[in-house]
Chain A
Amino acid sequence: KAGVTQTPRYLIKTRGQQVTLSCSPISGHRSVSWYQQTPGQGLQFLFEYFSETQRNKGNFPGRFSGRQFSNSRSEMNVSTLELGDSALYLCASSGQGSTDTQYFGPGTRLTVL
């Protein structure tokens, strides 16, 4: 089985721009979660989608949003980028939901200048 894939792997944006990141889960997985990883804050949960519905949300501002499509692929969007949004964004997929093991993709490295 192919693993979780994320595109693009690297992105450079400037402050004020918006960005969209994409995640394709493992075939058959219906849950997709997003995490932000920074040196200062570590790994923080952004949100989880299950069957096209946002089920859980972490403590991030409304500039961070996401969606999930009928094929379980997910996108996350960050609007009005700030320097502090520079991070590795990781996507994880699981089968029945968050109770199952989450399998992570390689991440998208976002740099905001």
Chain B
Amino acid sequence: AQSVTQLGSHVSVSEGALVLLRCNYSSSVPPYLFWYVQYPNQGLQLLLKYTTGATLVKGINGFEAEFKKSETSFHLTKPSAHMSDAAEYFCAVSDGLRGGSQGNLIFGKGTKLSVKP
């Protein structure tokens, strides 16, 4: 069965500092990996995704993530935090219907990012 672990339910950084949000996954087949962001009282917005190919994935708003198969990780980074980055971030995994399984998204518990001025 697939699963996602996000280390740290709350992360606080200063404006301009590096943002690092950690995600580890478990999957029996090559995974599709996603990062979504959720602002208060809103739905989920896709930041970036990895399916196949280049392991360093660039997304919107300056975010990027690197797929490391050996570490089963897909950590999200941004070189310089902005106040507008304050939100909750979710890592998700899907097997994309391979291996006869379901293909629905399995989410981590989320990480709330606070950005201090």
* Residue ranges of A at the interface with B (Cβ–Cβ < 8 Å): 4, 33, 35, 42-45, 48, 56, 58, 90, 92, 97-99, 101-107, 109
Contact = CB atoms under 8 A, between A and B. Distances in A.
B107 A33 contact: no
B87 interface: no
Given A98-B94, A98-B97, A106-B42, A45 B49 contact: no
Contact of A42 (B34, B46, B109): B109
Contacts of B102: 48, 56, 98
Nearest to A56: B102
B96 A98 contact: yes
Nearest to B109: A42
A39 to B, nearest CB: 10
A104 B45 CA distance: 7
A88 B43 CA distance: 9
Contact of B46 (A33, A103, A107): A103
A56 B103 contact: yes
Given A97-B97, A99-B96, A33 B104 contact: yes
7 contacts: A42-B108, A43-B110, A45-B106, A58-B104, A90-B44, A99-B94, A106-B41
Contacts of B32: 99
